[in-house]
Structure 1
């Protein structure tokens, strides 16, 4: 993680230091786990020292485009559909459609499409719901990635939030979750 990334994690830890978390989850990518541990280290109430780490909360898998300039990747994915940027794809279509376009543009078709992405992510959401330490009124920390956050907000935000702009690193988004629904309460705070 960069020094800026560590500073973002410390800043978020300070913002959340007075929230008693009943559980914590994160992506299995090192920067997400390091961020979650740093947040928990700042927490005054958490008995938790480590999050539950799971690949379910990973960023979208970009296949052939992993590690490349994503502006170029989104151009390759969107240009055949008359849109040349991620923002333009999302404005005209959706984040889900952007995933489908990227998989179609991947010469090996290894990138996750929308259905594959949500099959994985839904397993993560179910993991949270089935955790025995979580009950009505529980507070749960989830550390993931920008496009994962955008995907959650697009799906559960009821169109109330701008998903054409990436959330700031270290920003906070609040979800209300029960057995029947997930609702975005606030985004990119």
Structure 2
């Protein structure tokens, strides 16, 4: 049997663009004071967990969150590896737009219905494709582009050297976490909110991923 690798997927703490209700994919903004507090609280919940490896996206908000989490650790802290693979979805021309405006435009462009109605009928993969279609510049990532990138990052983590069962901390983004769970774990409702600094846990063993839970 291969080692059991427990992935702790943490969404970054609240940022100023989150607070202002704006689309934030590859664009970045610092953590708010509340964002820092929830990151510290996540670190306190994880303080007794020893991590073999730590990964973040290359966004400043995930690095800031990871540092606050690791400051609470009661174990030696590994080097933080920052990789593009764990970035948030790129929203193209919708980056920085008010979320209500952007999501409404995406729904109207593709189906002529409201965003709430749309999300009851499409998968997260279909929504990524719809976002690219609705983006005036067509620079937004479609699902294939998004998942190819994320999958490469996950494979990097799984292929690391492990002495035995281990924990890995990956500080990333809400839609990235949603797509990981949606692709790797059957029967999980991924329409729920992925809260700032929440911990989603997956286990990998013998080539299979198992979902342990959201908001742990």
Give the TM-score taking structure 2 as reference length. Answer: 0.80
CA distance in 1, matches of 2:213, 2:202: 7
Q: Which residue of 1 aligns with 2:76?
A: 46
Q: Distance in 2 between matches of 1:31 and 1:114?
A: 23
Q: CA RMSD in A?
A: 1.6
Spell out, residue by residue over 1:99-129, the C-alpha distance to the aligned partner (whole angstroms, 9 max, x if none). 0000000111100000000010011101111
**Residue 19 of structure 1 aligns with which residue?**
49
Relative contact order (alpha carbons < 8 A, sep ≥ 6): 1 or 2 greater?
2
What is the DSSP-based 3-state SS (H/G/I as helix, E as strand, rest coil) of the residue aligned with 2:44?
helix
Post-superposition Cα deviations, 1:42-64, rounded to whole Å, max 9, x if no partner, equal: 1111332x411111101100000
TM-score in terms of structure 1 length: 0.91
Name the counterpart of 2:118: 89
Among 102, 124, 146, the alignment partner of 2:131 is: 102
Rounded to whole Å, the distance in 1 between the matches of 2:118 and 2:206 is 32
Structure 2 residue runs of 5 or longer lacking an equivalent are 1-30
Q: Which has a greater percent of strand?
A: 2
CA contact (8 A) 1:150 1:166 kept: no
Paired residue for 1:169? 196
Q: Which moved more, 1:167-176 or 1:12-21?
A: 167-176
Structure 1 residues 136, 165: closer, same or farther in 2, change over 3 A?
same
Among residues 131, 154, 168, which one is paired with 1:140 in the alignment? 168
- The alignment of Structure 1 onto Structure 2 pairs a total of residues equal to 185
**Are 1:147 and 1:166, in contact at CA under 8 Å, matched by a contact in 2?**
no
Residue in structure 1 matched with residue 12 of structure 2 by the alignment: none
| 1:32 CA drift (Å) | 0.3
Does 2:29 correspond to 1:2?
no
